[in-house]
């Protein structure tokens, strides 16, 4: 390699941003599925979001990785993604059932976010609770 070509290659390496490490870009979370209507056993799934990523991305990644987590949602033009089914259990206006989104914070406090699965940005080690419930 000629000195000029080597210098150009080194300069290019210095100017290009380094690729982030895969692990440093992952924020670990868990998703717990609870059925408060029939009291079936809870299921917990470990997963992650990318830095500042939304919950829906983590849910899709978990679904596509094949551990048995499934879900469906509809896209509302005004409010975004609306969770309709988890692991084959579907909410029903007739039965007055729905999937409730809750979040267990690091200190143990459980909160109801003011946004849904398409906008919620989980923090590290939060437990996302998908609770099948009645209204």
Which residue matches tokens 């990785």? Answer: 65
21-134 maps to which CATH number?
2.170.130.30
Q: What pLDDT is stored for residue 20 in this prediction? A: 40
Q: What pLDDT is stored for residue 7 in this prediction? A: 54
* Residue numbers of the chain with a pLDDT score lower than 70: 1-24
Task: Please write the tens of the pLDDT for every residue from 98-129.
Answer: 999 999 998 899 999 999 999 999 999 999 99
Point out which residues pair with 87 in neighbouring strands.
none
Contact by Cβ (8 Å): 50, 22: no
Whole-model pTM: value is 0.80
Q: Where are the domains of the chain?
A: 21-134
Q: What pLDDT is stored for residue 19 in this prediction? A: 40
Q: What pLDDT is stored for residue 22 in this prediction? A: 45
Within the chain, how many helices (H) and strands (E) appear?
A: 2, 8
Q: What pLDDT is stored for residue 130 in this prediction? A: 98
What is the Cα–Cα distance from 6 to 15, expressed in whole angstroms? Answer: 14
């Amino acid at each position: 390699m000629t000195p000029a070509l080597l210098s150009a290659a080194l300069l290019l390496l210095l100017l290009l941003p380094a690729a982030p490490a895969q692990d440093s870009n992952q924020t670990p979370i868990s998703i717990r599925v609870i059925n408060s209507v029939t009291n079936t056993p809870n299921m917990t799934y470990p997963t992650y979001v990318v830095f500042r990523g939304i919950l829906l991305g983590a849910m899709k990644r978990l679904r596509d990785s094949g551990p048995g987590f499934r879900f469906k949602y509809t896209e509302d033009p005004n409010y975004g993604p609306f969770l309709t089914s988890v692991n084959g259990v579907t909410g029903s206006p007739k039965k007055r059932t729905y999937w409730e989104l809750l979040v267990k914070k690091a200190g143990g406090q459980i909160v109801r976010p003011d946004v849904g699965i398409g906008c919620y940005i989980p923090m590290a080690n939060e437990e996302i609770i998908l609770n099948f419930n009645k209204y």
